[in-house]
Amino acid sequence: MIKQNAIIWPEKYTPGTTDNYCSNEVIVAGLTTEEVWNYLVNPFAWPTYYANSSDIEFLNPEDKELYDGVRFRFKTFGFPIEAQVTECVPPAVGEAARLAWHGWAEGNEETRLDVIHAWLIEDLSGGRVRILTQESQIGKPAQNLAKQKPNPMINGHQDWLEGLVEAAKNKI
Question: Is residue 154 included in any domain, yes or no?
Answer: yes
pLDDT at 32: 95
Cα distance between residue 7 and residue 59, in whole Å: 26
- 44 belongs to a structural domain: yes
Q: Residue 113: what pLDDT?
A: 93
Q: Is residue 46 part of a domain?
A: yes
Query: Does residue 85 belong to any structural domain of this protein?
Result: yes
4 found inside a domain: no
Give residue 159's pLDDT.
Answer: 97
Whole domain around residue 89: which residue ranges?
19-170
In the chain, the number of structural domains is 1
**Do 87 and 98 touch, CB atoms closer than 8 A?**
yes
Cα 51 from chain centre: 14
Is 12 inside any structural domain? no
Q: Domain for residue 128, yes or no?
A: yes
CATH code: domain of residue 88: 3.30.530.20
What pLDDT shows up at residue 81? Answer: 95
Residue 102 included in any domain: yes
Q: What residue spans of the chain are helical by DSSP H? A: 33-40, 46-49, 140-147, 152-170
Which stretches of the chain score pLDDT less than 70? 1-2
Dist. CA 63–CA 148, nearest whole Å: 36
pLDDT score at 146: 94
pLDDT the model gives residue 4? 77
